[in-house]
């Protein structure tokens, strides 16, 4: 499985570490799996060329916050008419309802689920299956729980006998961690860590994770399972990196930025 972190920041921001392009550094959540599947479509999706966007068959949504969907309507508009089949977006019913009611409502943006026709639209909105995993593009996808105060989920993605659990946005969610720890072929957990420890109260109020909660829950995982730290809020990246690097010494930890890729096994 190849994961391109087109966007993995908890916000947007132009400054960058040495060697990184400022305009590309902090883009919001959009991960591309094996070139044809996206997890979320935040501003990271705008890194793709038009031909790369055309190749995307499925968009797996975790929730409908803007930093995770901002480029979905724009992307569908960009490639309108260039694909023979619709792009399929998948989500929880409550997430798809937000898209229908508040984004693709012919006021904020055209309803691309009926354009050019309801029979052959550019986009379809699809509920995740409830009777088993979603199987698309050689991937097996299971929804996982998330505690974000709105309809939201994590995703377990399996390919080639290895799995990665993506938390999506969430506060501490015991069910997510116990489910992840029970996955026999789990290779990595991509966990959001929005805040450093000094902002623990803000993390609690906004239902996000801060460093100590990530460290505490990661202890539930076998030591061969890597942590991928994502959704760091702009301006806090170095502090989060320093705190996690000090506290987690028993497993591999990755801190990707927009534009990085990981290929499993790593
Ligand atoms: Zn969110
Ligand atoms: Zn977010």
Q: How does pLDDT run across 112-126, given as a tens digit for each residue? A: 999 999 999 999 999
- Residue 150 C-alpha to ligand 1 middle, in angstroms? 8
Ligand closest to the CA atom of residue 95: 1
Enumerate domains of the chain plus CATH numbers.
2-263 (3.60.15.10)
Ligand closest to the CA atom of residue 65: 1
Residue 209 has, within 13 A of its CA and on its CB side, a CA count of: 29
- Please name which of 38, 15, 42, 40 lies closest in space to residue 26, comparing C-alpha atoms: 15
- Residue 119 C-alpha to ligand 2 middle, in angstroms? 33
Averaged pLDDT score across all residues of the chain: 96
pTM of the full structure: 0.97
Runs of H (alpha helix) within 40-162: 50-54, 66-69, 71-78, 93-98
- Residue 131 C-alpha to ligand 2 middle, in angstroms? 28
For every one of its 266 residues, what pLDDT tens digit does the chain have, with 9 covering 90 and above? 999 999 999 999 867 777 777 666 789 999 999 999 999 999 999 999 999 999 999 999 999 999 999 999 999 999 999 999 999 999 999 999 999 999 999 999 999 999 999 999 999 999 999 999 999 999 999 999 999 999 999 999 999 999 999 999 999 999 999 999 999 999 999 999 999 999 999 999 999 999 999 999 999 999 999 999 999 999 899 999 999 999 999 999 999 999 999 999 98
Ligand closest to the CA atom of residue 153: 1
The C-alpha atoms of residue 22 and residue 112 are separated, in whole angstroms, by 32
Residue 67 has, within 13 A of its CA and on its CB side, a CA count of: 18
- Residue 148 C-alpha to ligand 1 middle, in angstroms? 7
- Please name which of 178, 162, 176, 170 lies closest in space to residue 230, comparing C-alpha atoms: 170
Pairing of strands 134-136, 123-127: unpaired
**Number of residues that make up the chain:** 266
Runs of H (alpha helix) within the chain: 50-54, 66-69, 71-78, 93-98, 174-181, 200-206, 211-218, 237-247
Contact indicator for 62, 153 with CB cutoff of 8 Å: yes
């Amino acid at each position: 499985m190849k994961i391109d972190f087109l966007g993995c920041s908890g916000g947007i921001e132009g400054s960058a570490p040495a060697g990184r392009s400022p305009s590309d550094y902090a883009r919001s959540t959009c991960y591309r799996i094996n070139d044809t599947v996206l997890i979320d479509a935040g501003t990271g999706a705008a890194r793709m060329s038009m031909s790369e966007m055309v190749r995307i068959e499925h968009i797996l949504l975790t929730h409908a916050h803007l930093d995770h969907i901002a480029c979905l309507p724009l992307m569908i508009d960009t490639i309108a008419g260039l694909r023979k089949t619709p792009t399929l977006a998948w989500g929880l019913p409550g997430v798809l309802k937000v898209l229908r009611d508040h984004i693709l409502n012919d006021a904020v943006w055209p309803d691309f689920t009926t354009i050019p026709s309801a029979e052959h639209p550019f986009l379809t909105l699809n509920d995740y299956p409830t009777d088993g995993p979603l199987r698309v593009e050689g991937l097996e996808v299971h929804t996982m729980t998330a505690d974000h105060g709105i309809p939201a989920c994590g995703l377990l993605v399996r390919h080639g006998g290895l799995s990665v659990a993506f938390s999506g946005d969430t506060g501490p969610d015991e069910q997510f961690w116990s489910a992840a720890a029970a996955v026999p072929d789990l290779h990595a957990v991509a966990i959001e860590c929005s805040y450093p420890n000094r902002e623990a109260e803000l993390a609690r109020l906004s239902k996000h994770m801060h460093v100590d909660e990530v460290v505490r829950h990661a202890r539930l995982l076998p030591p061969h399972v890597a942590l991928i730290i994502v959704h760091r809020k702009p301006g806090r990246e170095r502090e989060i990196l320093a705190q996690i690097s000090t506290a987690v010494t028993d497993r591999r930890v990755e801190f990707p930025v927009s534009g990085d890729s990981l290929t499993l096994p790593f």
